[in-house]
Amino acid sequence: MTDVKSDIPSHMIGQPIYVKKNRGAGFWIAVGSASFFFLCSLLLFVLFIGSLFLNRAFIASSTDTKGRIQISETFVEGSGENKIAIIPVKGILTNESAEGLFIEKPSIVEVIKQQLEQANNDTHVKAVLLEVDSPGGGITASDVIYNQIIKFKTGSNKKVVVYMQDVAASGGYYISAAADAIVAHPTTITGSIGVIMPLINVADLINKYGIKDNSITSGNMKEIGSPLKQMTQEEQTILKNIIDELHMQFVNIVSIGRKLDIEAVKKIADGRIYTGKQALEKGLVDKLGYMEDAINQVKELAGLTEATIVRYEKQYGLADLFGMMSRRIFYRNTILFDISQLQEQNTIKPMYLWTGYTSSK
């Protein structure tokens, strides 16, 4: 029999013997997974910190010396030194900026204003094509954009044509009424000429659970529209008068812009939506067609036979790119929504908004 101790050095005799175990596949899988998640977390943290600094340090990369948004031109088609500028008007109309994941997005009102200013200052731009895809939004935002278009037309003597895409309803139609001509896509949904003030009342629900509203007011009308108390007939009358006044403003805008008798507009301005064909029959649009038809309409009004068609787009800086990259990582497989849209639709105030529209952008 072989003595086991004969193979052990003399100085280790009597010492504990440790046997080295081989690491199994499960161990290395666990280590790899932990490392992967650590690196992903580290990357997200770096992106977060980096975008915060870039948003301040490189803000000039997407704005000019006066802090205005830089607008870039993307070639679409055509030739020649004369240009037609396409300005997209998409989504909820709001004059409030929106907080993104890491950056603040300028309001659509501000973006359109600066794009119109650029088209006004560019002597090569002979006309503007507004590409509208919007269910409307705030009454003030809609009216501001409308007046910006009127101001642009008056100050520059340049023509404006609207090309309606999927939806150009309520405030989307309000701003379209400022154009010299409107071309609707055959499948466009438009109209919804009216005002809405969303009011939800939960008074019965809170009373059921014994919840009381002890708000102290300076007058009996201070809580008008509160979801915590039943609305009186007098309060309903006050709010209805406000809605009717804002509705008549909308009716007047359509009457002036479309050169329609005001009584004729009242008959079709009950808030209903129309297809492109129905809108054409009502005189709300000038023709049905596609983008090439809208471009030809602009050329005709501007007296052009040839023109370079360009699309105005916001120029992205480093902070914007980091923000978009981070959102793509965070929300790659989730449903995205615009915070400004959520705020706009849940604010208790009158709106030129078709509430049947749900954005998938």
The model's confidence at residue 331, banded by pLDDT at 50, 70 and 90, is very low
Confidence (pLDDT) at 159: 98
Whether 107 sits among the annotated catalytic residues: the reply is: no
pLDDT digits 0-9 by tens, 159-191 = 999 999 999 999 999 999 999 999 999 999 999
Q: Which of 5, 222, 287, 349 is catalytic?
A: 222
Q: What is the mean pLDDT of residues 204-221?
A: 85
Confidence (pLDDT) at 335: 37
Task: Find the helix or strand (DSSP H, E) in which 273 lies.
Answer: strand 273-275
pLDDT digits 0-9 by tens, 222-276 = 888 888 888 899 999 999 999 999 999 999 999 999 999 999 999 999 999 999 9
CATH of 58-353, one of 3.60.20.10, 3.20.20.210, 3.90.226.10, 3.40.50.300: 3.90.226.10
Rounded Cα distance, 71 and 54, in Å:
20
Q: What is the mean pLDDT of residues 36-61?
A: 59
Q: Which of 49, 89, 81, 40 is nearest to 304 (CA)?
A: 81
Confidence (pLDDT) at 57: 42
Query: Which of residues 66 and 287 earns the better pLDDT score?
Result: 287
Give me the half-sphere count of Cα atoms (radius 13 Å) on the Cβ side of residue 70: 13
Complete DSSP assignment for 28-44: HHHHHHHHHHHHHHHHH
Tokens linked to 85 = 């500028």
The model's confidence at residue 22, banded by pLDDT at 50, 70 and 90, is low
Q: For residue 277, is pLDDT > 80?
A: yes
Whether 222 sits among the annotated catalytic residues: the reply is: yes
Confidence (pLDDT) at 205: 84
Q: Which of 62, 134, 170, 176 is catalytic?
A: 170
The letter for the amino acid at 2 is T
Helix (H, G, I), strand (E, B) or coil at 133: strand
